[in-house]
Structure 1
């Protein structure tokens, strides 16, 4: 049975994956942060999170180029901390990438509902899963080329949004009642700043997923740094621009707890019948599709890598005749579809399904970021001779910044989302139980020098 992925992706493909994985976060999800922090409070949260992501990506790229493995953070943590370290990072990454797509699928349904009110949001979400699981199964080059195409369209559409909204932009709209819970900056506002962390992270969540395409990249030691550095700079610019222009379009409180803030913001400027609005709805779907499609690629590679290493059932690492992990693609899709149909049945902390899925995904991401930065420090100490084509700039200060901010975010997340935090721990515990009873499965897994470091010099 073949378990070797095909290297066929160039730097533009990788940029498309890195940005495409994330770009739906510019279209929806982040505006829930206004509901808890206000525009000014959320601006502070976003700046803090942006600092974390920039420092994280510049540090994470060192790991990605030194250990180009489909497991990404799982591989780095296992090499640094052994099997249990790999389990923590692998499970956290899997939770992040499995629970983000249902939120995006629901947003796709919400965007289409603007044009076709009679459409079932859940039915559209399930249809999206079927279509894009199928596209991912047909081959990584086809999937990555499509990802690049829709990502470029999505970036252009965000620039168009800013341009169309700009003539009606008013900074006074953005700052009006900008501190949630009080008329001016105070303790309620400070509380809101920390409570809004999941929604600021949603602006950038999953950029690290490009690491899971490392085995399928041509010359990953050269192409991945280009993709990551250009990708994070693209996303920071778009996140700040979209948030500020949307907030200045009118009464931002009307945008704070919905899944389609950009069409509604544009409606405040150009009216409900404008051709610009209809264009945003249709082309805006490409942003959601880019992330949805890309994260399917990401979760499938994480399932694949964990299965190949013996952490999950071996069948999930089986490849199709197109050299894609089709069973892993389907497994994540079934979990996502089940999550979609839990809407209205399961109520978590009074949140909408979208907000709950975002928060669950962010718990996984933050734990993975912490494990990745700890792995970077550990490998610098234990494997100083490891070939590192890209070195984290400003070491140890830059990765330490990412680590400290990530720990602060995790503490705040647990404080403000205790129920979801406990559910997250429950999923992690399930992974540990399976791990405990499957030692033989890992012992019989194919040898992988990137996980063990046996061939490093």
Structure 2
């Protein structure tokens, strides 16, 4: 840290269990909603193929990404890896992409929280509930990383338990015939006509696993990052793979799965098909289901705040966002900044409701664009650093190198190309915002040079 910044440092106190809780908690809302939008175009079977491809991409990516995280345990995560590999421009691209991923995921989750509560209380406006969620969990994140991480672990365990309960309750009504009926983009058997829908569903398959890499942003606050991060990442991806398959299969086999696509609360609606609207199981699912959404919402706020903090500390964002609260040792202004953008997105129907998709679907897609670009730059950074810094300490090395990172890189490129084809307007918005951000970076180059000179 620059000597011109007298702020205290981040608190190094996170354990392996807490990091695992962050890894799973960041993602677990993806098991509750978002993914079912993929059924609308691909069908259950088509989406199963898409999800399998994306799951393989994530598995190889996480095993490769862990090498970077343990070698360079920095709050900036991908921003710092790419800056080290490719200089300021590479760092900016990765930092911008990560910021988009982590700033645009929370409003989608907040809207889902509002939808879940709306099931119980129809008079509640989901958008106002979403804003309330932001206020509560921004406050909790500011109060301290130990409080935030312990809360994250608890709600994540409750969310996992709840998903297991969901599978158990709907299992008596599960039918393979329900799951496969019309499962190839509305057809009972595969045909070439199903392929476009399978490609179009890629963003919603990514939503199953989106943001697991956010543990990297907590690496600077881990007690022993070189040991605990590999365990957290690997255990986390295995946990999420098992839950994703179980939730998708059991929900799809509960009844008419076409009623579950294009909605924000597929699990309560799937359970209704089995137990009816007045069942106590349904009410329990709605209330406990909130824990899954809260776990991800809360965890991603932690992630985006550390990314904003790291970018500001390096001079890529206004320096105020790089301050640490003197009492709580958290980047409080970074927490608030991401919240302001997220709340604005919640009320940006005119900006994000286009292309025949809902506001939530488009926000999800925007977040996924950021994730995929970040994955590409991160894997490129891994290859570059292997060549440029062969002596860098690597407590964890990517298995089956170069095949694992090469597959992750190639798969991410396929996902990006597909998303651009099927979501050209969101792709254009992503690029325009990136260009505007880069203009700011160029205009503030002297400040970064001054920070580097006084470091």
CA distance in 2, matches of 1:448, 1:361: 35
**Given the alignment of the two structures, is residue 403 of structure 1 paired with residue 420 of structure 2, yes or no?**
no
**2:451 partner SS:** coil
Offset at residue 8 of structure 1 (A): 0.5
Equivalences for 1:201-240 in 2 at 5 Å?
201-240=206-245
Offset at residue 407 of structure 1 (A): 0.4
**Given the alignment of the two structures, is residue 191 of structure 1 paired with residue 193 of structure 2, yes or no?**
no
CA distance in 2, matches of 1:19, 1:147: 9
- What residue is the counterpart of 1:454 in the other structure? none
- Pick the aligned partner of 1:128 from 130, 133, 142: 133
- What residue is the counterpart of 1:378 in the other structure? 384
- What residue is the counterpart of 2:356 in the other structure? 350
Offset at residue 184 of structure 1 (A): 2.8
- Cα gap change, 1:43 to 1:230, in 2 (>3 Å): same
Equivalences for 1:23-42 in 2 at 5 Å?
23-42=28-47
Offset at residue 445 of structure 1 (A): 2.3
- What residue is the counterpart of 1:7 in the other structure? 12
CA distance in 2, matches of 1:256, 1:447: 54
**What whole-Å deviation, never above 9, does each CA across 1:287-337 have from its counterpart, x for those lacking one?**
000000000000000000000000000000111121111110000000001
Given that 1:311 and 1:441 are in contact with CA atoms closer than 8 Å, whether structure 2 keeps it comes out as: no
- What residue is the counterpart of 1:20 in the other structure? 25
Given that 1:40 and 1:179 are in contact with CA atoms closer than 8 Å, whether structure 2 keeps it comes out as: yes
**What whole-Å deviation, never above 9, does each CA across 1:192-232 have from its counterpart, x for those lacking one?**
11000000000000000010000000110000000000000
Equivalences for 1:136-285 in 2 at 5 Å?
136-180=141-185, 182-285=187-290
- What residue is the counterpart of 2:123 in the other structure? 118
Offset at residue 344 of structure 1 (A): 5.3
Tell me the C-alpha RMSD between the 2 structures: 1.2
Offset at residue 36 of structure 1 (A): 1.1
Aligned residues: 449
Offset at residue 348 of structure 1 (A): 2.1
Offset at residue 6 of structure 1 (A): 1.2
Given that 1:16 and 1:144 are in contact with CA atoms closer than 8 Å, whether structure 2 keeps it comes out as: yes
Greater displacement, 435-444 / 11-20 = 435-444
- Cα gap change, 1:80 to 1:136, in 2 (>3 Å): same
**What whole-Å deviation, never above 9, does each CA across 1:244-271 have from its counterpart, x for those lacking one?**
0000000000001100000010111111
> Structure 1-normalised TM-score?
0.97
Given that 2:352 and 2:363 are in contact with CA atoms closer than 8 Å, whether structure 1 keeps it comes out as: no
Offset at residue 275 of structure 1 (A): 1.1
Unaligned runs of 5+ in 1: 450-457
- Cα gap change, 1:418 to 1:86, in 2 (>3 Å): same
- Pick the aligned partner of 1:366 from 349, 365, 372: 372
- Cα gap change, 1:344 to 1:310, in 2 (>3 Å): closer
CA distance in 2, matches of 1:84, 1:3: 28
**1:389 partner SS:** coil
Unaligned runs of 5+ in 2: 1-5
Greater displacement, 288-297 / 313-322 = 313-322
Given that 1:3 and 1:317 are in contact with CA atoms closer than 8 Å, whether structure 2 keeps it comes out as: no
CA distance in 2, matches of 1:184, 1:267: 28
Offset at residue 140 of structure 1 (A): 0.4
Given that 1:348 and 1:420 are in contact with CA atoms closer than 8 Å, whether structure 2 keeps it comes out as: no
CA distance in 2, matches of 1:125, 1:182: 37
Given that 2:180 and 2:188 are in contact with CA atoms closer than 8 Å, whether structure 1 keeps it comes out as: no
- What residue is the counterpart of 1:69 in the other structure? 74
CA distance in 1, matches of 2:353, 2:235: 39
- Cα gap change, 1:161 to 1:309, in 2 (>3 Å): same
Offset at residue 346 of structure 1 (A): 4.8
**What whole-Å deviation, never above 9, does each CA across 1:129-182 have from its counterpart, x for those lacking one?**
000000000000000000000000000100111111111100100000001154
**1:237 partner SS:** helix
**Given the alignment of the two structures, is residue 314 of structure 1 paired with residue 319 of structure 2, yes or no?**
yes
- Cα gap change, 1:22 to 1:307, in 2 (>3 Å): same
